Amino acid sequence: MSAQAAAALLSARDVAVRLGDTPVVRGASVTLHAGALVALVGPNGAGKTTFIRALAGLLPADGEIMIGERQLGIMGTRERARAVAYLPQGHVFHWPMQAAAVVALGRHPHTDPFATPSPQDRAAVSRAMQRTATEAFADRRVTTLSGGERARIALARALATEAPVLLADEPTASLDPRHQLVVMELLRSAARDGGAVLAILHDLTLAARFADRVLVMDGGRIVADDVPSEALSPQRVAEIFGVEAMMVDTGEGVALIARHPI
């Protein structure tokens, strides 16, 4: 299925967000199709997190954001929560709850507050834990887990919602190389199963290697939206990130190698 034929699960046009008096996102557009993993890259302060929070409906924004056929602004909070899963930075857990109980939080938008979890809820939780290979520590307290395990639990929580759209803010931050790859493969497989995934990444090499498309953001605008080899061309990487980089074709996709600051 080509990207054009796939359904647009999220489309945003001319999104603008001000935080206080500062315009942080100035007319950014994106379309997320089923089956695609899209990376959002850009230097610190480019407005990536603000943009993705606006797409998740967590910030008031100008412009048009459509989730499937529905306008984000008129969706109820629970309806929106069932359609868009959001994985914030940092994998925060404030209470030392059991890992499985944390993953089950992903079912919050589906569950009546006073009902017991339905068989569907249980099934979704176990699917999410199976996919992230977290069943082995389902009973452990999240605070006793390693960084990589926490990242997978946080991702499992987001996957358990089984929302068509997943927005992830730096899902690979502070992970060791192996877990960065594990998480990226999980995001890609979530997309391949028919979801649309947008992930903020700081590692351009990971973005080039895993993403079907890369959005480059700078100064609150999307300055490139293309396949990795085009979006992350050495000229653009030099211009936007101030890094001299080279692109190597590995045979199974392109690899970007950052060499030195300019």
Closer by beta carbon to other proteins, 105 or else 227: 105
Closer by beta carbon to other proteins, 57 or else 220: 57
Binder of other proteins out of 51, 93, 210, 241 (CB under 8 A): 93
Closer by beta carbon to other proteins, 79 or else 185: 79
Residue 24 CA, chain-centre distance (Å), reads 19
Residues in region 56-75 near other proteins by CB under 8 A:
56-58
Binder of other proteins out of 6, 8, 105, 138 (CB under 8 A): 105
Sequence-ordered alpha helix ranges (H) in the chain = 48-55, 77-83, 99-104, 119-131, 147-160, 177-192, 204-210, 228-231, 234-236
Angle at 249 between CA 208 and CA 38, to 5 degrees: 20
Q: How far is the C-alpha of 93 from the C-alpha of 193, rounded, in Å?
A: 28
Q: In terms of C-beta density within 10 A (0-12 exposed, 13-18 middle, 19 or more buried), how is residue 163 classed?
A: buried
Binder of other proteins out of 38, 102, 145, 256 (CB under 8 A): 102
Closer by beta carbon to other proteins, 159 or else 237: 159
* DSSP one-letter string for 24-55: EEEEEEEEEETT-EEEEE--TTSSHHHHHHHH
Binder of other proteins out of 5, 21, 69, 92 (CB under 8 A): 92
SS3 241: helix
**Residue 87 binds to other proteins (criterion: CB under 8 A):** yes
Q: Which amino acid is at 80?
A: R
Residues in region 116-145 near other proteins by CB under 8 A:
116-117, 141
**Residue 255 binds to other proteins (criterion: CB under 8 A):** no
**Residue 111 binds to other proteins (criterion: CB under 8 A):** yes
Query: For binding to other proteins (CB under 8 A), which residues are involved?
Result: 53, 56-58, 77-78, 80-82, 84-88, 92-98, 101-102, 105-106, 108-109, 111, 113-117, 141, 157, 161
